[in-house]
Amino acid sequence: MSATPFAPTLTVELDGHPLVLCAERAAFDPVSKLLLVADAHFGKDAVFRSHGIPVPVGSTAGDLARLDALIAAHDPQRLVFLGDVLHGAQSHTPEVMAALHAWRARHREMRITIVEGNHDRHAGLPPASLDYEAATEPWRVGPWALCHYPQRVADAYALAGHEHPVYRLATRIESVRLPCFRFNERAGVLPAFGSFTGGYVVNDSALDESIYVIADGNVLAVK
């Protein structure tokens, strides 16, 4: 591992291969030039509003702006979504689709692969006009087995999403839940990229794992 104590990125080695952890809740393979994003859940706010829940508008636009910043910083050759690109069937609104197409137009040369997740099966994949490849897990590329569901894969290091992992840090009187990356010797899980997502506390299930939390725009090792 190499990083300053407080930094927006932190490079770890997983089974001998470098992976850059980004405070924007994504990871970048500097060798294969892959940008990895799990659980974007674009259009989740539209799904809630379709059910009469008056949540604020704008989470998809903000998440796409973060994705723009990641692409500008790392110049990936390929973006891989580790499942759950759209949140639900009601995410296919004209506003959400227009935002996605405008974002894609800004990055025409970048290849995109979507590893299908459970929400992709229920919501439907984005329209083909967004120019991407669909893959089923585990999708093998370089040293990685890219998945939606956390799992182990023979002869590869598996990277997945689905869990939306968060780590709870506490004092005697206060606590905070922070998005986190979790890694064991053969598999890891990325935090949910979407800003409008819940979280699964992993403190009790990650006792023998390495945990890196995202706090105040920094990636920090906590165990």
Distances in Å between the Cα of 48 and the Cα atoms of 56, 57, 76, 87 are 10, 10, 32, 10
pLDDT of 119: 73
Top-tier CATH class for 9-221: alpha beta
Tokens of 199: 């979280």
Per-residue DSSP letter, 61: H
Contact by Cβ (8 Å): 120, 83? yes
User: Structure pTM?
Assistant: 0.90
Work out the angle at residue 217's Cα, subtended by the Cα atoms of residues 211 and 218, and round it to the nearest 5 degrees: 40
Each of the 223 residues of the chain gets a pLDDT tens digit; together they read 344 456 899 999 999 999 999 999 999 999 999 999 999 988 765 554 455 544 445 578 889 999 999 999 999 999 999 998 986 666 678 888 889 999 999 999 999 999 998 877 877 888 899 999 999 999 999 999 999 999 999 999 999 999 999 999 987 788 889 999 999 999 999 999 998 677 889 999 888 999 999 999 999 999 7
Work out the angle at residue 167's Cα, subtended by the Cα atoms of residues 122 and 223, and round it to the nearest 5 degrees: 130
Nearest to 82 by CA among 128, 31, 120: 120
pLDDT of 121: 82
pLDDT of 3: 42
Contact by Cβ (8 Å): 185, 177? no
Rounded CA separation 22/213 (Å)? 10
Tokens of 124: 């439907």
Tokens of 25: 């809740």
